[in-house]
Structure 1
Amino acid sequence: MDYSLQNMLVALGQLLLGGLFVFTGLNNFGPLGDRAAAGLKARGIPSPREVLKVASAFEVVAGACLMLGAMVAPAALALAFYTVVASYVLSNFWQQPLGETREVMHRTFIANIAIVGGLLLAAAQAL
């Protein structure tokens, strides 16, 4: 087994990125899921609880793939696409009036785009 610094950094990056999605997905099956489902409903998403369950299951499975180093490129690309779509739908700061809510949503959107960057790097490294 190769224990080079590069391989350790790649493994750590995959662990952290994947862990973010696993953690978030699992949390949505608990009490925090009620708040998330309410947010989906407020944005006009039909069957918000069911959509949340499917999305959360996807997050857990794809995130676990990243963490375990299994099917890294497809998992990372799928999570990148998912994150872009979710950010567009849920962090649509451009539709908010100026103020604190818009600023929070803008920061969330920017952070999500940075996560997409990390996912694209993980996918590129795995190809």
Structure 2
Amino acid sequence: MAMAMLQRRANVRLPPEVNRVLYIRNLPYKITAEEMYDIFGKYGAIRQIRVGNTAETRGTAFVVYEDIFDAKNACDHLSGFNVCNRYLVVLYYQSNKAFKRVDVDKKLEEIDKLKTQFNLNDDTKK
């Protein structure tokens, strides 16, 4: 029985964006990692959970599953799940988007440096 299930999983082709890391948004700010394990652990073995704790990352978390099929199952079932009157947004982590965000932040810092260097400000009146 277990061997047949493994063979079925081996034959399944998943979309390229599917991976073991889920990015969760719209979490209650007071949620704990233990509560996250209770919710997401029902779908498979979890390697790691990181809950955001800074002003920018509150309400978000990363959940890393041991198996990609468990991550897909959790994403399919928990997207839109209601937790404390908040509907979860469950997405697959995309590293290229994360790095693009870092690049944008660096470019904004460079622009600010150039503005101060050349004594330019945004207070131009029209």
Q: TM-score normalised to the size of structure 1?
A: 0.25
The structure carrying a bigger strand percent of its residues is: 2
Q: TM-score by structure 2 length?
A: 0.25
Q: Whose Rg is larger?
A: 2
